[in-house]
Amino acid sequence: MDQKLVFKQMVDFNKGAFNNAFNAMVMVQEQNETLANTMLSQATWMPEEGKKAVQDWVETFKKGREEYKKAVDEAFKKVESFF
């Protein structure tokens, strides 16, 4: 069997596994975000500054997640360009 084909199949498998794991993580994080938003809307004891801080933290986390995904996708593109 051709070594390039084997290596390409390995890369494709790893890319698929990463995408599946990443999508599962995103779903869990979105559920947690929904839960946090529900709790924050009902937390009358929490000051608005605290709620804003939590919302900013969630948005920063989302942005970091998207940047990480973009970096991994770029790395896979570079590896795939060798084939």
The per-residue pLDDT for range 7-60, each reduced to its tens digit, is 999 999 999 999 999 999 999 999 999 998 999 899 888 899 988 998 999 999
pLDDT at 24: 97
Q: Which pLDDT band holds residue 82 (cuts at 50, 70, 90)?
A: confident
| The model's pTM | 0.83
- CA R_g for the chain: 19
- In the numeric block, which tokens belong to residue 21? 């794991």
Count of beta carbons in the 10 Å neighbourhood of residue 36 = 15
pLDDT at 18: 97
pLDDT at 59: 93
Compute the half-sphere exposure of residue 83: CA atoms within 13 Å on the CB side of its CA.
15
Q: What is the mean pLDDT of residues 66-79?
A: 96
Compute the half-sphere exposure of residue 2: CA atoms within 13 Å on the CB side of its CA.
5
pLDDT at 71: 98
